[in-house]
Copies of this chain bind each other. A is one copy, B any other.
């Protein structure tokens, strides 16, 4: 993993939390060492570590550089029904690498609860962004239901086996991708979503939800020059 850390900027220094402090210790950095860090909002900092405690470290900012812009309106949104942790984690990690701008995790009838996953998801986002040297972290939003549909702008596609075959054009421009839970949408949910977007499917093979999700995110990223 490239050694990039996440910290919150406060005047002339960065504050790094427990998770980052653990990372600092794992890679055996010491007081006085230079580090690179980001605020997750598009800025790369060069700093000197000046305090490493148990739960918290601080570093003095020597240089800062704007390297990435956060779109003022999120361009590409991936909406995932909350899943078992293994798959959810994996979708989050890969979609951050592939440059998704906004992640929405929602509860559908057949979803698992996400209440215990809020912090875990944020940490995966952070680690994945650090890993791929992404300085503007995607926004993560949690919804108890399908009311997230009201905030989506642009073209919405729903990945579902009932949909027409996917075409290249489905992944171009400002796209919102909606992915269901492992146990599928209920018929009522599928009908409601079909009124709010275009159901598409990779029709010849039965892809698991997470595979279809990541392939779609990758297509959006590739066809729009994000990767």
Contact = CB atoms under 8 A, between A and B. Distances in A.
Interface of A: 2, 90, 94, 97-99, 131-134, 166, 202-208, 211, 214-215, 218-219, 221-222, 225-227
A180 B43 CA distance: 31
Q: What does DSSP make chain A's interface, helix, strand, loop or mixed?
A: loop
Nearest to A205: B227
B132 A215 contact: no
A164 to B, nearest CB: 14
Given A132-B205, A215-B222, A218-B219, 14 more contacts: A94-B211, A97-B208, A98-B215, A99-B204, A132-B207, A132-B208, A133-B205, A202-B227, A203-B227, A204-B225, A205-B221, A205-B227, A214-B214, A214-B215
Contact of A97 (B90, B94, B99, B211): B211
Contacts of A227: 202-205, 207
A98 B219 CA distance: 14
In the complex this chain forms, how many copies of it are found? 2
Contact of A98 (B2, B132, B211): B211
A218 B205 CA distance: 12
A133 B219 contact: no
A219 B2 CA distance: 28
A130 to B, nearest CB: 11
A154 to B, nearest CB: 21
Contact of A204 (B166, B211, B215, B226): B226
